[in-house]
Amino acid sequence: MTPSGGIHVTWAECVTRDVFGNCILFRLMYSSSLGGSIFSATEKVAENTFMPGVYDMAGDGVGNVSIAYATSGFSGSTIVHARVEGGHLVRTSDVSRTPANQYAVHAEVAIDPAGRLWLAWSENAPPRPSNIFATMSADGGQSFGPRINVSKSDARPAGVPVIAFDLSGLPWIAWGQRSPDSSYIRPMPAE
């Protein structure tokens, strides 16, 4: 729910199944409502082999919605940002800019009090350990800043990164790592 009173819903549905009944192609859908009595026509955000359940959504103060999800492929994956304005998908962009043969997963998106978008994800290139990356947009997702390696870790981060803001609006990213099991939190630059 956004501060403007909008209810925003996303879900994944199966489009194609293999001979064993496993879903191999998913569609990510979106719909919205003001007050919950009538919902808008459904809007297709994406259709690919991304992993359902591994996407995130955040709304700003005027009802715009940002959705982040991982694409999936045999030779790598990337994190995509989808922007919904006025109930309609207006643009998508590759925010992780993941190099070939690397895998970006566990997308997280949040909007700070100033309206900036923050995205974080886990990325690895087997057999190397994975790292937590982040990026920021100050223009509603029309452009994104550089990839920031948040964890710079020799260990393998586990779980999804989490973005939160302190009382001053400064973004912090938290994540867990294995070997040894630990939790970490780091502030991000405000600009």
Residue spans of the domains in the chain: they are 6-187
78-102 tens-digit pLDDT: 899 999 988 888 999 999 998 888 8
Instruction: Report pLDDT digits (tens) over 2-30.
Output: 666 778 888 888 888 889 988 878 888 88
pLDDT in tens, 24-47: 788 888 888 877 778 888 888 887
Topology annotation, domain 6-187: Neuraminidase (2.120.10)
Nearest to 89 by CA among 26, 25, 32, 13: 32
Q: Tens digit of pLDDT for each residue in 132-145? A: 999 999 999 999 99
H/E segment holding residue 174: strand 171-178
